């Protein structure tokens, strides 16, 4: 797979393309349809890349989520398995750093956002035994290093793309994620502090939201409830 850079306007959106625009491949990664058939740790599992990226403009890094092939710690000489990885790409020279989840962990990446207030990227993953077995995790990444991890509940099962079930209010330095409402998870929005990763009481427990968006000018978070056909508005990080 390749990560491409675009310049100018997008003709696919029905707009005229800037004739001076250029497009080039910022980074490319080899893939395999079956990690069990390889011993090459540079390979990504085919189709595992999430359709969302986050950009750290200060460090000129683009964060891509995917699954990388790695040994199975339970059977080191046996077949390899895919593990969650966050790839920090420097588009200026195409170099990249893989931030791999430890082999054997049950996590899979959902989404990533960049928080300018904290100078950090945040990755939302599903997996783990917390929340009644429907667990998850929030990772804080500064540059190419994981500087903090916090337990969370798994992403909401509501209709919607998991890429859009995470957002950030920069002025409040808070991370919001749409979480499931079964097992030990309360539903609604999970909330974590961007600096400490300490959790807060969930907002509007019960519904499962399918997509989130933040307005950093007004300090509001919008959450789509596809079951009831409504959009909930959370003002300054509260219900």
Domain segments of the chain: what residues? Answer: 1-105, 106-239
Q: DSSP readout, 177-220?
A: EEB--STT---SEEEEETTT--EEEEES-S---SEEEEETTTTE
Query: Tokens representing 30?
Result: 């080899």
**Residues 70-112: tens digit of each pLDDT:** 998 888 889 999 999 999 999 999 999 999 998 778 899 999 9
**CATH for the stretch 106-239:** 2.130.10.10
Instruction: Spell out the per-residue pLDDT of the chain, length 239, in tens.
Output: 665 554 443 433 445 556 666 677 878 899 999 999 999 999 999 999 999 999 999 999 999 999 999 998 888 889 999 999 999 999 999 999 999 998 778 899 999 999 999 999 999 999 988 898 889 999 999 999 999 999 999 999 999 888 999 999 998 999 999 999 887 789 999 999 999 998 888 898 888 999 999 999 999 999 999 999 999 999 865 55
């Amino acid at each position: 797979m390749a990560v491409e850079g675009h310049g100018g306007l997008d003709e696919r959106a029905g707009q005229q393309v800037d004739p001076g625009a250029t497009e080039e491949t910022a980074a490319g990664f080899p893939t395999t349809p079956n990690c069990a058939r390889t011993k090459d740790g540079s390979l990504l599992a085919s189709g595992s890349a999430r359709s969302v990226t986050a950009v750290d403009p200060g460090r000129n890094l683009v964060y891509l989520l995917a699954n990388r092939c790695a040994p199975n710690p339970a059977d080191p000489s046996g077949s390899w398995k895919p593990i969650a990885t966050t790839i920090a790409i420097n588009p200026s020279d195409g170099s990249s750093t893989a931030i791999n989840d430890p082999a054997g962990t049950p996590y899979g990446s959902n989404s990533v956002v960049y928080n300018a207030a904290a100078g950090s990227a945040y990755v939302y993953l599903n997996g783990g035994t917390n929340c009644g077995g429907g667990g998850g995790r929030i990772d804080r990444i500064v540059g190419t290093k994981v500087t903090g991890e916090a337990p969370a509940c798994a992403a909401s099962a509501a209709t919607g793309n998991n890429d859009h079930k995470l957002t950030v209010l920069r002025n409040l330095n808070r991370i919001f994620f749409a979480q499931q409402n079964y097992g030990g998870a309360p539903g609604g929005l999970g909330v974590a502090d961007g600096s400490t990763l300490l959790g807060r009481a969930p907002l509007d427990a019960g519904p499962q939201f399918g997509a989130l968006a933040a307005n950093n000018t007004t300090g509001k978070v919008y959450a789509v409830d596809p079951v009831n056909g409504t959009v909930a508005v959370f003002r300054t990080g509260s219900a």
